[in-house]
Amino acid sequence: MKHIPVLLDAVLHELGDLTGKTVLDATFGAGGYTRAFLDAGASVVAFDRDPGVLDDVQDILQKYGDRFHFIAKPFSKMAELTEQFDAIVFDLGISSMQIDIPERGFSFRADAPLDMRMSGTGVSAADLINQLSDTELAQILREYGDVSKSVVLARAIKAAKPKTTFELRDLIYNPRDIAPVFQALRIAVNDEMGEIKRALSVMPNLLKPNGKCLVVTFHSIEDRIVKNIFRELTTVPGNPLIPVAAPVPFKLIRAVTPDANELENNSRARSAHMRGIQKSY
């Protein structure tokens, strides 16, 4: 299935005229957001840790030249940047191209090694299962997948030590828990929540005055993290009954969800939210 960027029109509408501006695309993926920003006249710096994106990177480099710069690292490594941007955009979660390549081990619909590594390096999902205790695995299933009877299931998984996606799938006796278990392991393997927290902690220093940060989320865990961080950045510090001299550094941008037309054309957009903040000074 071709990857269709979710909420792209909403993101472009919120960013406005991008002519001559600089955008940090934290999640390059198949390059849909990056291409749109470049077509709108921006220069783009993009991050992605997945080596599978390199063909798209080369295509964009050939077309747009030095207006595009790609960094093959996790987006938390934006902490290493020294320049500032007019906009920073995140399209979180897993991309359709990762799910649709069976050998990546992200999907329970095809039999493949139980991998799930976005970068292709480090600890795989099968390795992680072997390394964790029953209690640690149960916590991951509960926290990242809201899996029912997580303790019992964690013990079964640990005992079986599955090496393939089908071996794991067949251990999950409640069909409703299959997708959440795979989601939970994928999040843990790639430290997705840690990546979000680290990147958003350095984001304020990377935005120019009046710059905007927009984040598209796909499930409640990551959306809650983004919502809470944005609330902190847009809340007046101290006692609300006592006037403060310093202005709030950011203001909230109205949250957006896909409209009926987008939902009809892209089923993967159904759980998406776009949240944003704008730097005040």
- The 10s digit of each residue's pLDDT in 89-114 is 999 988 777 887 888 999 999 999 99
Instruction: Pick from 34-48, 81-95, 253-267 the range whose average pLDDT is largest.
Output: 34-48
pLDDT band at 54 (very low <50, low <70, confident <90, very high): very high
- Whether residue 182 is found in the same domain as residue 64: no
Residue type at position 249? P
pTM recorded for the entire structure: 0.92
Average pLDDT over residues 174-196: 96
Which DSSP helix (H) or strand (E) runs through 214?
strand 207-217
Q: 92 near 69, Cβ under 8 Å? A: no
Q: 108 near 168, Cβ under 8 Å? A: yes
Residue 79 tokens, joined: 């902490």
- Nearest-CA neighbor of 153 among 131, 134, 166, 167? 134
- Whether residue 213 is found in the same domain as residue 79: yes
Residue 65 has pLDDT above 70, yes or no: yes
Q: Where are the alpha helices (DSSP H) in the chain?
A: 8-15, 32-39, 54-64, 96-99, 125-131, 134-145, 150-160, 165-169, 178-189, 192-206, 220-233, 260-265
Q: 244 near 236, Cβ under 8 Å? A: yes
- Nearest-CA neighbor of 229 among 38, 53, 90? 90
Last residue of a domain, one of 160, 189, 218: 189
Residue 106 resides in a domain: no
- Strands 43-47, 22-25: parallel, antiparallel or unpaired by DSSP? parallel
pLDDT band at 232 (very low <50, low <70, confident <90, very high): very high
Count the domains in the chain: 2
Q: Looking at residue 267, what is its pLDDT?
A: 80
- Whether residue 183 is found in the same domain as residue 232: no
Q: Which long-range contacts (CB under 8 A, 24 or more apart) does 155-159 make?
A: 157/129, 158/129, 158/132, 158/133, 158/134
- Whether residue 68 is found in the same domain as residue 145: no
Residue type at position 83? E
- Nearest-CA neighbor of 174 among 141, 214, 210, 217? 141
Last residue of a domain, one of 189, 211, 240: 189
Residue 273 tokens, joined: 């939210």
Residue 102 resides in a domain: no
Average pLDDT over residues 166-187: 96
**Domain containing residue 138:** 120-189
Residues 6+ apart with CB under 8 A from 206: 24, 78, 81, 83, 84, 85, 88
Quote the radius of gyration of the chain (alpha carbons, Å).
Answer: 20
Last residue of a domain, one of 133, 158, 189: 189
Residue 77 has pLDDT above 80, yes or no: yes
pLDDT tens digits along 127-145: 999 999 999 999 999 999 9
Residue type at position 56? D
- Which CATH number goes with the domain that contains 52? 3.40.50.150
- Whether residue 58 is found in the same domain as residue 178: no
Assign 182 to helix, strand or coil. Answer: helix
Q: Looking at residue 265, what is its pLDDT?
A: 87
pLDDT band at 240 (very low <50, low <70, confident <90, very high): low
Residue 171 resides in a domain: yes
Determine the distance from the C-alpha atom of residue 147 to the mean position of all C-alpha atoms in its chain, rounded to a whole number.
Answer: 21
